Amino acid sequence: MKHLERSHILTRIIEAKANRLQVAKMRVPEPIVKRMAETAKAVPSFKAALEQPQRLRIIAEVKKASPSRGVLKADLDPAKQASAYREAGAHAISVVTEEDFFQGDLGWVGTISEASKLPVLRKDFVYEPFQVYETRAAGASAILFIVAMLQPAELKELITLAHHLKMDALVEVHDETELGEALEAGAAIIGVNNRDLKTFNVDLQTSLRLSKLIPDDRLFVVESGIQSKADIDLLLDAGADAFLIGEHFLTSADPASAIRGLL
């Protein structure tokens, strides 16, 4: 992993994740998780969902809490939320499974996949192969890799493993340097996160700036900060292929109507 400042939020999350991983490996050893992943049933393609002919494609997120906003939906029902997203026209569903800072659960991947029949992206803080195997075993169609926390060689290894397991990889970047590393590692789907991981400030200019550097043969996903149809139109004109939206939907009294409003 990359060296991060002690005060960096990623440092604290990764420390908590390391403890969780120790327990997970004792509960189900890696050879068994690997076998489960390699024999898991087929899942719908995340990449194909983002290549559908519509101009606007939405990845709707299931997330119970966040470090910046606290609990977003105390009574979150992952299956019910996912079904509402599907009925409103979402193309895929993202689920945040990190336990300590986001109050997620890896088991939600299978629950959401079954309830929605849509491709499911597992969002977590992934830095070793065991996590890729457990993601595929859980029923995910895609997995998130965050360039800010991974060395270039690690990123390339994890992307290759995900593809071997027939999962797509959403590779998240925050600036020009990280984008260069993602492209060098062979990322086919680039997620530009408009949220600064140090300050938690959100700035859509990040996506607008980096959009000029993303090759046409890669899919460009905008993450964080989408609040209105005007934001969508601005970024579509900049070349965005899809939008990953969570808090706007989760804090809405009627998530389905919120999706339809953007569509």
CATH label of the domain that carries residue 24: 3.20.20.70
Q: Is residue 162 part of a domain?
A: yes
| Mean pLDDT value across the chain | 93
Contact 95, 104 (CB under 8 A): yes
Position 122 pLDDT exceeds 90: yes
Residue 197's pLDDT band (boundaries 50, 70, 90)?
confident
> What 8-state DSSP symbol labels residue 234?
H
Mean pLDDT across 100-120: 97
Position 7 pLDDT exceeds 70: no
Q: How far is CA 168 from CA 38, 89, 95, 223, in A?
A: 15, 21, 15, 17
Please count the other Cβ atoms lying within 10 Å of the Cβ belonging to residue 201. 10
pTM value is 0.95
Position 69 pLDDT exceeds 90: no
Please count the other Cβ atoms lying within 10 Å of the Cβ belonging to residue 82. 25
Position 56 pLDDT exceeds 70: yes
Q: Give residue 77's domain range.
A: 9-262
Q: Is residue 39 part of a domain?
A: yes
Q: Is residue 2 part of a domain?
A: no
Looking at the structure of the chain, the number of domains it has is 1
Spatial separation of the C-alpha atoms in residues 30 and 164, rounded to whole Å:
17
Mean pLDDT across 218-226: 94
| pLDDT confidence of residue 196 | 84
Please count the other Cβ atoms lying within 10 Å of the Cβ belonging to residue 13. 19
Mean pLDDT across 201-223: 96
Angle between helices 176-184 and 152-164 (to 10 degrees): 50
The lowest-confidence range among 23-32, 44-53, 65-74, 184-193 is: 65-74
